Amino acid sequence: DNKTDGILVTSLVRAKFSELLAERVGFKGRESELFMMGMFSLIDVFIGRPLKDIMAELPISEEIKSALLGEYNDFGRIYHLVLFYERAQWEAFMTCAASLGIEEKHIPDDYKKAVAWADEVCSL
């Protein structure tokens, strides 16, 4: 249904956007972990169970789990950056980008690439 499609598209955008940010934040080689973080970011909505319960059952890194559960670790800062950009919370976005050492000028292109990729995947 449309709700499920929207959740999937948002998860895919978050996944690709996070992956694209990896090199910008000094996490080259960890792109797949950041992609996974984005993919699982809405799993609770998709499945209809509490996120904490789902995270306890998944065999993924503690960095990903804790980031998705709201901790502000290295992955958590990237996750928050993605959310701030997605929600147009520009002041919080700029503060978070500065804390990660990201030049803001590159972010719109990365986000456009993520959206285009997600649209392409969903149209297959």
User: Residue 44's pLDDT is what?
Assistant: 95
List of E strands, 10-124: none
pLDDT per residue as tens, the chain (124 positions): 667 788 999 999 999 999 999 999 999 999 999 999 999 999 999 999 999 999 999 999 999 999 999 998 999 999 999 999 999 999 999 999 999 999 889 899 999 999 999 999 988 7
Tokens standing for residue 18: 């996070």
The answer to whether the beta carbons of residues 117 and 16 sit under 8 Å apart is yes
